[in-house]
């Protein structure tokens, strides 16, 4: 029975580790699409090529976050080693932020159904969850990786806050179906400028670094699998 439990744990860590690394790689690709689209956009109404880049980014983000469900499950399993563990409610909260992020990102492709920035609000909630989870994993993860995770979570939370500010300036971005970009008048207000500065900082703190944290976490989870395998051999 004990060996079966260890084998199940090994499988959980292996799946979570691989999913984390895959999520990180896709996240890097997604961020590349985003940076290219933002840097090459020079007009309020972007050309078709820029819309395609934003669409590719949104699809990649959806895949990136769906893979994070397995990562959250792996961290929950890991937390049982040292109380207090991640509760079922905390795990559900994390998944409850991950799934809407992926779904809203897909619905934002092409800016037809939803504004393609809609997903950043649940992404911000996931950032808060990431802060809490890394704090709770004290003693189970290296301190530097936990603090890195909290910095990433703070950046994602800032992006979510920025969305609220931008939506206050452009309430039409909350409309369903999405309002065409050409029907929206660009606003140069203090609130808009502050919100975009927050978005800028949060993007570098959280969006750009999430894939790195995810890959590092995946490598640690795979190492956890090897430690369990070693423990199993010692018991045989």
User: What is 68-131 written as a DSSP string?
Assistant: HHHHHHHHHHHHTTSSSPPPHHHHHHHHHHHHHHHHHHHHTGGGSSS-TTTTHHHHHHHHHHHH
Long-range contacts of 145-149 (CB under 8 A, 24+ apart): 145/213, 145/216, 145/217, 145/220, 148/209, 148/213, 148/216, 149/213, 149/217
Q: Where are the domains of the chain?
A: 2-235
> What does the pLDDT read at residue 137?
85
> What does the pLDDT read at residue 34?
95
Cβ neighbours for 78, distance < 8 A, ≥ 6 positions apart: 13, 137, 140, 221, 224
pLDDT, one tens digit for every residue, the chain (236 residues): 444 444 445 567 899 999 999 999 999 999 999 999 999 988 888 888 999 999 999 999 999 999 999 999 999 888 887 777 788 898 999 999 999 999 999 999 988 899 889 999 999 999 999 999 999 888 778 899 999 999 999 999 999 999 999 999 999 899 999 998 888 888 899 999 999 999 999 999 999 999 999 999 999 999 875 545 444 434 44
Contact between 192 and 199 under an 8 Å Cβ cutoff? The reply is no
> What does the pLDDT read at residue 81?
79
> What does the pLDDT read at residue 235?
44
> What does the pLDDT read at residue 86?
84
> What does the pLDDT read at residue 193?
95
> What does the pLDDT read at residue 194?
96
pTM of the model: 0.88
Q: Can you tell me whether residue 236 is helix, strand or coil?
A: coil
Distance of CA 77 to the CA centre of its chain: 20
């Amino acid at each position: 029975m004990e060996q079966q439990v260890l084998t199940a744990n090994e499988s959980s860590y292996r799946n979570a580790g691989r999913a984390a690394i895959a999520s990180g790689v896709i996240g890097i690709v997604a961020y590349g699409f985003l940076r290219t689209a933002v840097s090459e956009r020079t007009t309020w109404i972007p050309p078709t090529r820029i819309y395609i880049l934003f669409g590719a980014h949104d699809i990649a983000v959806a895949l990136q976050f769906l893979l994070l469900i397995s990562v959250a499950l792996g961290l929950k399993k890991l937390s049982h080693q040292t109380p207090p563990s991640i509760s079922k409610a905390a795990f559900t909260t994390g998944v409850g932020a991950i799934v809407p992020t992926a779904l809203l990102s897909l619905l934002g492709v092409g800016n037809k159904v939803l504004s393609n920035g809609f997903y950043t609000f649940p992404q911000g909630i996931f950032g808060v969850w990431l802060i809490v989870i890394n704090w709770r994993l004290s003693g189970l993860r290296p301190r530097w990786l936990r603090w890195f995770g909290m910095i990433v979570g703070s950046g994602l939370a800032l992006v979510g806050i920025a969305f609220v500010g931008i939506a206050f300036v452009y309430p039409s971005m909350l409309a369903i179906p999405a309002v065409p970009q050409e029907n929206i008048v660009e606003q140069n207000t203090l609130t808009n400028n502050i919100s975009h500065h927050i978005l800028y900082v949060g993007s570098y703190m959280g969006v750009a670094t999430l894939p790195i944290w995810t890959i590092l976490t995946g490598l640690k989870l795979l190492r956890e699998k090897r430690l369990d395998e070693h423990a199993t051999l010692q018991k045989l």
